[in-house]
């Protein structure tokens, strides 16, 4: 019986509940070794839908993926930004190592258009990565996006609020982000393997270079306001 | 030589029903205005008992509600010429012949893997265009025509590939398949000469004396004794085609079916010329209203019907039509050289670039051009001018090294400040800065700001600035996402 289980575990798509699945899904390294170790396949899954859950904005939710996006757009594929909350700022994106000429920003007027555009982008195969802000909770639609991402071998990342953690998802990977002690704390409530409950801390987002310099500046700022 | 003849039986009726069939009785009339006769009738009219050749007045009596269309020979010729242009994708030698077209396929059948596959793809193509045609294959154009006509009459004929076999194959076919004068045919019938077998047994000199040399000459051409050269149809250097809808079409979905037929015709004609277009003009004609025009523009030369239809579908979906549509008109003025792209198993950079362009076109067609764009760094120190929208996909220069946020607000947002400390969901702690940016005094949009990176107690990090001229006024300008 035991031998049978060991053989079963060798089949593609079959893994033991207590372990991470390491084969099958293609993945791109994120550039954060600590995170890659926790992800099945040793990187962010490409060719499928994944979710980033966060309530706070400006905690490095996009910067976390910069390395993966840069890798996913190798071979001259595009990175699509669909319905982002603000304009992606070109100098910053270039700083994070993402080729600007491969970025495509799509800001549709309606929600329906955004979902349509997301499916087109994923299915076309022209985009290696797609970042989606859709405010979409309909399981059937997420399933469609998941199928489209598989068809187009595209890394689809959906940004949602942590309220979505209660809802089921067709995505294979779900990562929850929070900020604490100057680090980005990453929890993985869903992956192919046991969920990661104790968050890992990554040095993502803005790292203060010199707090003292800022403190001085702050005094300088404060002074005229007081006087 | 091997000729393939296409015969379009009841062409006037096919033309009228090409935009989609209807269940109403329809006849095509021809002849003097005082006594027009029915030239052809559709199924509904035939079911009502209307036969070809009866007077229109009699037909009206038979069918309660009858649509009568006048025959338009010029439209028929126009249609056949466009078909010949469409068939240019199969052979350089295609011409209008009788009520159909004739193609010389000996030279190109190998390209299409034999005449059987070639005729199958022609049959399929004709069907996609919305026509019904019978095919005849023979070593002479006239024999091919006779075979195609025989099939249209319901007489089964196998294709003939050897010139020596023509005599035997046509032997049992009736003579009325030839385009001979009615009197000649009537007199031959009186003599008991009904089939090709009978006339080919008679001495040629006698026939020439009784019926004129034209009859014997056409018989010689038929069996290949006399050369029968044809002039290939040269299509004009533009494309134009029109399709009339059987009934007024409300909405856009009903237009896609006839539009698919127009585009299939367009693609065939372009294939024949090795051409494509960057701009197609589609006009929707309405009854008693100005036509709606729609320009389809492509960034590269295109001709594939499926792709163009997808673009047109998105564009049409955004239109508000003033009235029901009665006809579609498709035109292309400038034909450009088209480089066919091979479909490969592993797509290379070229195919990907094509996918990309097509994706951007499809998105822009539905969402609007201003909603789909690329971004680039601009040569300016002001953050709001330090980036620019680009037509998607342009090379860009590397940016600066000072910290910049992933997201920039459309316009800076004023922050609440308590005791000179800005707040956004909690007091903001300045963690980097100041970075002074002073620029723009030369064009009236002057900025003079101190930028800081600031974080609130929850760890949300923002890019904020303090206006230099207005002390204490803080603004949010970016999010370090």
Print the SS3 string covering A66-93: HHHHHHHCCCCCEEEEECCCCEECHHHH
By the 8 A CB rule, do B360 and B393 touch? yes
**Whole-angstrom Cα Rg for chain B:** 35
Q: Span B239-365: which CATH code?
A: 3.30.1490.100
Backbone angles phi, psi at A118, to 5 degrees: -60, -45
Chain B interface includes A107 (CB < 8 A): yes
Averaged pLDDT, B406-414: 89
Q: CA-to-CA distance for B274 and B339, rounded, in angstroms? A: 8
Distance from the A83 Cα atom to the nearest Cα atom in chain B, whole angstroms: 10
Quick check: A112 contacting B, CB < 8 Å?
no
Torsion of CA B37, B42, B47, B50, to 10 degrees: 0
Cβ distance of B405 and A77 shorter than 8 Å = no
What CA–CA distance (Å, rounded) separates B137 from B360?
A: 46
Closest residue in A to B463 (Cα–Cα): A58
Question: Which residues of chain A have a CB within 8 Å of the CB of B480?
Answer: 58-60, 63, 205-206
pLDDT at A130 over 80: yes
- pLDDT band at residue B343 using 50, 70 and 90 as cut-offs: low
- Mean pLDDT estimate for chain B: 85
Tens of pLDDT, residue by residue over B254-301, are 888 889 999 999 999 998 888 889 889 999 999 888 888 988 888 778
To the nearest whole Å, the CA of B304 is away from the closest chain A CA by 17
pLDDT band at A183 (very low <50, low <70, confident <90, very high): confident
- How many helices (H) and strands (E) chain B has is answered by 14, 21
pLDDT higher than threshold 70 for residue B37: yes
Helices B213-223 and B204-211, axial angle in degrees (round to 10): 130
- Residue contact A208–B400, C-beta within 8 A: no
Test mutation, B346, B370, B406, B477, chain A, max A CBs within 10 A: B406
**Is A121 in the B-facing interface, judged by CB distances under 8 Å?**
yes
pLDDT recorded at residue A210: 43
Measure the CA–CA gap between A177 and A64, rounded to whole angstroms. 10
| First-residue to last-residue Cα distance in chain A | 81
pLDDT at residue A214 tops 50: no
All structural domains of chain A: 17-226 (3.40.50.300)
pLDDT at residue B50, rounded to an integer: 87
Q: Where are the domains of chain B?
A: 3-24+65-223, 239-365, 398-479
Helix (H) or strand (E) holding B12: helix B11-17
- What is the average pLDDT across A127-148? 89
**Higher pLDDT, residue A7 or B181:** B181
pLDDT tens digits, residue range A43-57?
A: 899 889 999 999 988
Closest Cα in chain A to B401 = A95
pLDDT tens per residue, range B47-63: 888 888 888 888 888 88
Considering only residues A25 and B5, tell me which one the structure prediction assigns the higher pLDDT. Answer: B5
- Mean per-residue pLDDT, B183-194: 90
**Mean pLDDT, range A66-76, rounded to an integer:** 88
Residue of B118, B127, B359, B133 lying closest to B260 (CA atoms)? B127
pLDDT over 70 (residue A23): no
A131 has a pLDDT exceeding 90: yes
The whole-angstrom separation of Cα B330 and Cα A120 is 27
Does the distance separating the beta carbons of A178 and B434 come in below 8 Å?
no
* Burial of B291: CB neighbours in 10 Å, binned 0-12, 13-18, 19+: middle
Q: What is the mean pLDDT of chain A?
A: 82
Question: Which of the 8 DSSP states describes residue B426?
Answer: S
Q: Listing from the earlier edge strand, what are the strands of the sheet with B429-439? A: A87-88, B407-414, B474-479, B461-467, B447-455, B429-439
Count of A-B CB contacts under 8 Å: 203
Residue of B nearest to A217 (CA): B434
On whether the CB atoms of residues A206 and B455 are closer than 8 A, the answer is yes
Kindly compute the dihedral angle of the four CA atoms of residues A133, A134, A140, A142, in this order, to the nearest 10 degrees: -10
Shortest distance between the Cα of A61 and any Cα of chain B, in A, equals 5
Convert the pLDDT of each residue in B456-477 to its tens digit: 888 889 999 988 777 778 899 9
Per-residue model confidence (pLDDT) at position B307: 87
């Amino acid at each position: 019986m035991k031998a049978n289980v060991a053989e079963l575990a060798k089949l593609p798509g079959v893994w033991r509940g207590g372990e991470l699945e390491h084969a099958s899904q293609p993945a791109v390294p994120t550039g954060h070794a600590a995170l890659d170790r926790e992800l099945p396949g040793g990187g962010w899954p490409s060719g499928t839908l994944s979710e980033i859950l966060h309530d706070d904005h400006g905690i490095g939710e996009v910067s976390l993926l910069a390395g993966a996006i840069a890798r996913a757009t190798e071979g001259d594929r595009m990175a699509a930004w669909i319905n982002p909350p603000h304009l992606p700022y070109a100098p910053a994106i270039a700083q994070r190592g993402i080729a600007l000429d491969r970025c495509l920003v799509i800001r549709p007027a309606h929600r329906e258009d955004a979902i349509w555009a997301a499916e087109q982008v994923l299915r076309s195969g022209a985009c290696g990565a797609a970042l989606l802000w859709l405010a979409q909770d309909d399981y059937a639609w997420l399933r469609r996006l998941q199928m489209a991402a598989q068809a187009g071998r595209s890394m689809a990342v959906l940004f949602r609020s942590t309220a979505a953690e209660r809802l089921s998802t067709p995505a294979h990977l779900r990562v929850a982000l929070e900020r604490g002690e100057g680090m980005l704390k990453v929890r993985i409530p869903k992956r192919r393997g046991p969920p990661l409950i104790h968050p890992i801390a990554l040095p993502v987002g803005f790292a203060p270079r010199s707090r003292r310099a800022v403190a001085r500046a702050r005094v300088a700022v404060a002074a005229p306001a007081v006087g | 030589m091997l000729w393939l003849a296409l015969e379009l039986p009841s062409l006037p009726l096919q033309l009228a029903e090409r935009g989609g069939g209807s269940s109403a009785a329809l006849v095509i009339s021809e002849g003097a205005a005082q006594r027009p006769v029915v030239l052809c009738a559709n199924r509904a009219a035939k079911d009502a008992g209307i036969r070809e050749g009866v007077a229109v007045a009699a037909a009206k009596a038979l069918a309660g509600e009858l649509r009568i269309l006048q025959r338009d020979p010029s439209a028929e010729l126009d249609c056949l010429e466009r078909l010949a242009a469409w068939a240019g994708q199969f052979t350089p030698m295609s011409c209008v012949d009788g009520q159909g077209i004739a193609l010389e396929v000996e030279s190109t059948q190998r390209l299409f893997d034999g005449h059987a596959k070639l005729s199958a793809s022609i049959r399929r193509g004709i069907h996609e265009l919305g026509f019904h045609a019978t095919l005849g294959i023979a070593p002479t154009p006239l024999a091919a025509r006779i075979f195609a006509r025989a099939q249209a009459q319901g007489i089964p004929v196998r294709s003939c590939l050897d010139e020596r076999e023509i005599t035997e194959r046509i032997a049992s076919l009736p003579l009325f398949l030839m385009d001979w004068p009615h009197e000649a045919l009537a007199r031959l019938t009186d003599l008991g000469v009904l089939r090709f077998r009978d006339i080919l047994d008679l001495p040629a000199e006698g026939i020439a004396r009784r019926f004129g040399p034209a009859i014997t000459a056409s018989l010689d051409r038929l069996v290949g004794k006399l050369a029968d050269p044809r002039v290939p149809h040269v299509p004009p250097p533009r494309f134009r085609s029109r399709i009339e809808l059987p009934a007024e079409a409300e909405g856009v979905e009903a237009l896609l079916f006839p539009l698919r037929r127009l585009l299939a015709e367009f693609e065939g004609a372009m294939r024949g010329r090795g051409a494509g277009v960057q701009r197609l003009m589609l006009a929707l004609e309405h009854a008693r209203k100005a036509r709606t025009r729609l320009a389809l523009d492509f960034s590269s030369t295109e001709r594939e019907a499926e792709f163009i239809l997808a673009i047109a579908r998105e564009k049409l979906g955004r239109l508000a039509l003033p009235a029901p549509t009665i006809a579609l008109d498709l035109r292309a003025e400038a034909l450009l050289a088209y480089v066919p792209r091979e479909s490969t198993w592993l797509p290379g950079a070229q195919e990907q670039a094509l996918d990309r362009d097509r994706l951007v076109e499809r998105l822009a067609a539905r969402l609007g051009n201003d909603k789909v764009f690329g971004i680039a760094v601009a040569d300016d120190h002001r953050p709001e001018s330090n980036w620019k929208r680009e037509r998607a996909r342009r090379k860009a220069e590397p940016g600066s090294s000072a910290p910049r946020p992933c997201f920039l607000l459309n316009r800076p947002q004023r922050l609440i400040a308590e005791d000179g400390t800005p707040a956004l969901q909690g007091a903001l702690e300045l963690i980097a800065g100041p970075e002074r940016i002073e620029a723009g005094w030369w064009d009236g949009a002057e900025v003079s700001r101190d930028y800081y990176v600031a974080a609130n107690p929850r760890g949300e990090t923002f890019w904020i600035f303090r206006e230099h001229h207005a002390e204490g006024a803080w603004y949010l300008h970016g999010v370090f996402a």
